[in-house]
Structure 1
Amino acid sequence: MVSVMTSVRGINVHYQIINPRAEKTIVFLHGFTGSTKTWDTVIQSFQKDYRIFAIDLIGHGLTDSPYSVRRYSMEEQVELLHEFFEARRVPSFTLVGYSMGGRVALAFAVKYASMIEKLVLESSSPGLPTEAERTARRKNDRTLAEKIEKNGLDAFVKEWENIPLFESQKALPTPKQLVIRQERLNQRAVGLANSLRGMGTGQQPSYWDELKKMTKPVLLITGELDQKFQQKAIDMEEKFLCCENKTVPDVGHAVHVENPQIFATIIEEHLETI
């Protein structure tokens, strides 16, 4: 695995790549408070015939955390990824996104459908369908962003790892929990705060109406213990033209963290059969 820093649209972007000469390409996008490190175990499970990119999104990992909220918009993140792939002459690929990264992946697939071979969304959504819901979410995200900046990362991470969405992660071995915590603590307050302000679920457009226009195969993965996103996946499956919906038993929101081997196997089987 090679770690690389490059400049795209005036942003220093960090990514990792393995098997650079393989013909088939898979791209992984992490969730909020995550980084390329979240995929380390998953990537090791893939066969060597896949070239794999894992990318730190704006405000996360080793990628820049600008002070301008405008740079964090969903539209800006999509354009940054597009120029990243264009510069590396990657014309098409399977795109995998988790949670926030899944929202980014879907936004990219909506705008640049011709570049997508297959789309894999883990515990994600197309956004909020009504303006009232988006307004309420923007207010909550602004409040959380201000708390992060005011109270610092330590206080935020302590609160964040105890929200119901991540309850199932408390059953993981202690060393693995510590790795997850450290990944969150390695973020920057300005990056997380501006990510919430710029491309939080309430800030992004709703893509619900775009789902039925997508013709590429879609794989949805959720955890059995994450009922909220399991229901979102069911609702999404009804709209996609070509969709497979997989529920992984005994895990929650971060399937790839709680059971990386099964997560990788589901994707590989999907790529081989569709």
Structure 2
Amino acid sequence: MTDTTTYTDTGTGDALVFLHGFCESKQVWEEFAKPLEQKFRIIALDLPGHGRHTSNLNSSTMSMEGMADHVKEQLDILGIRKCLMIGHSMGGYVTMAFAEKYSAMLTGICLFHSSALPDTDEKKENRNKTIDYVERHGVVNFINPFVEPLFYRENRERLQAEIELLKEIGRQTPQPAVLAALAAMRDRPDRSQVLADLKCPVLFLFGKDDGAVPLEKALEQCHLPNNSTVCFLGKTGHMGMFERTYETRKALEKFAETIYG
């Protein structure tokens, strides 16, 4: 039986399923998705190890594939047979793992500041350094300086409340979950071929000033799907749902309307 505290289910109509990123929770989508409830059924899930989903954690459930299986189980319980899946950052990695295993359930996907590509060797080494830091200094000391650089520098002052919200969510993520998620992101495979083989439409939302998904990596993948829509956002870092709420929501809404009619 599903834990009703680990998801929200609002609105009616065709389903949009929102997956959050690393050290986030379903809460990051709360205000962003609310206006979409007038047209769509909105499902936001806490991924394993995050938010209120902090039980039965191991390397299998915390892998991208394990998280995708968890999403599938929750959608089955909720009676969702088809959906448009939106994945932010790590949630996009989970979306790609889901697409590899359960593509027949997808009417479309949105990679929201995310990628089908694997970590580079440099990024893997940075993951290893972060794992070592979290093991030695703890989650709080990691999260406090981690969050603000996710935002474009000119957006940080006006979005202090959102930055503090993300820090609070991140600080509540259990250390074993943080470590397991870092290792899972480091070890995820290249799913660019999955992206190329997808039969459903794909929406890419990229920040031009996103240090986590650099512009050159965005350009490497956005041409791969047979049907893709790409939105590049200037003066935007990794957190477009906060930095460019109106533009990203409108892009997603238009994409969903194109799919569902």
TM-score (norm 2): 0.89
Q: What SS class does the counterpart of residue 159 from structure 1 fall into? A: helix
Aligned pair partner of 2:192 in 189, 208, 217 = 208
Q: 1:16 to 1:272 in 2, by over 3 A?
A: same
Deviations 1:148-179 (A, max 9, x none): 2331222111231254x444352433323222
Partner Cα separation in structure 2 for residue 107 and residue 191 of structure 1: 19
Q: Match of 1:106?
A: 96
Q: Match of 1:172?
A: 158
Report the number of matched residues: 257
Q: 1:66 to 1:174 in 2, by over 3 A?
A: same
Partner Cα separation in structure 2 for residue 192 and residue 73 of structure 1: 12
More moved, 140-149 vs 208-217: 140-149
1:96 aligns with 2:86: yes
Give the partner amino acid of 1:153. Answer: V
Give the partner amino acid of 1:6. Answer: T
Q: What SS class does the counterpart of residue 86 from structure 2 fall into? A: strand
Q: What SS class does the counterpart of residue 60 from structure 1 fall into? A: coil
Q: 1:230 to 1:196 in 2, by over 3 A?
A: same
Q: Match of 1:267?
A: 252
Q: Match of 2:39?
A: 49
Give the partner amino acid of 1:14. Answer: T
Partner Cα separation in structure 2 for residue 99 and residue 145 of structure 1: 18
Q: Match of 2:232?
A: 247
1:149, 1:190 within 8 Å by CA — same for their partners in 2? no
Q: Point out where structure 2 has 5 or more consecutive residues left out of the alignment.
A: none
Give the partner amino acid of 2:258. Answer: T
TM-score (norm 1): 0.85
Aligned pair partner of 1:154 in 140, 165, 178 = 140
Q: What SS class does the counterpart of residue 70 from structure 1 fall into? A: coil
Partner Cα separation in structure 1 for residue 142 and residue 79 of structure 2: 39
Aligned pair partner of 2:207 in 223, 241, 252 = 223
Q: 1:150 to 1:209 in 2, by over 3 A?
A: same
Q: Point out where structure 1 has 5 or more consecutive residues left out of the alignment.
A: none
Q: What SS class does the counterpart of residue 36 from structure 2 fall into? A: coil
Alignment of 1:63-102 (within 5 A): 63-66=53-56, 68-102=58-92
Q: What SS class does the counterpart of residue 112 from structure 1 fall into? A: helix
1:193 aligns with 2:185: no
Percent identical pairs in the alignment equals 24
Partner Cα separation in structure 2 for residue 13 and residue 142 of structure 1: 32
Superposition CA RMSD, Å: 2.2
